[in-house]
Amino acid sequence: MYDRPVLDVDDALKLVDAALAASGDTKQPLAIAVVDDIGDWTAFVCTDGTPSFNREHARRKAYTAAITGRDLQEFVTARTQSGRLLADLGNPRFIGSAHGGVVVKDAAGNVIGALGVSGATPEEDERIARAALTAAPVLGAGGAA
């Protein structure tokens, strides 16, 4: 038996709010998904008028980052170097994007979930995701100051 760090809903909501704040534009269509370490949803929001395409993408970005334990940029780079196709991995829920999906770690560096952002340009999705992580660091179980 061992202790497993778990992402809490308060941390997930802080990440979601930090991402909305980082966007800075309430008119921007934006979907933000936070999942736990096995890719199950923990929090999700989308701004008014966000297309279904982006809602689904935010979820898939978060899921892919959580399951692989890697930021999407790193995952895409590693996969490209290995010469494998996304389909070779055999998981139909994976997404091939390289932007807007980052892992969420606790204070000890354990991957406890992931954050996915979709709605703006790929570069802007990525910036928002990273800004949210910086603005709302997850302390995790026992990590609170």
What's the CA gap between 19 and 96, in Å, rounded? Answer: 22
Q: Determine if 117 is a binding residue for other proteins (CB under 8 A).
A: no
Stretch that binds other proteins, among 9-17, 99-107, 115-123, 126-134 (CB under 8 A): 9-17
81 makes contact with other proteins (CB under 8 A): no
- Whether the CB-CB separation of 131 and 120 falls below 8 Å is answered with no
**Of residues 30-49, which lie at the interface with other proteins (CB under 8 A)?**
40-48
Nearer to other proteins, 11 or 76 (CB): 11
Give burial (CB, 10 Å; 0-12/13-18/19+) of 81: exposed
Q: Is 15 in the site for other proteins (CB under 8 A)?
A: no
Least Cα distance to 95 among 47, 39, 49, 134 occurs for: 39
Half-sphere exposure for 138 (CA within 13 Å, toward CB): 32
Round to whole Å and give the CA distance between 105 and 125. Answer: 19
To other proteins, the closest distance from the beta carbon of 133 in angstroms equals 19
Does residue 132 interact with other proteins by CB under 8 A?
Answer: no
Binding status of residue 7 toward other proteins by CB under 8 A: yes
Residue 6 touching other proteins (CB under 8 A): yes
State the residues that interact with other proteins by CB under 8 A. Answer: 6-9, 12-13, 40-48, 52, 55
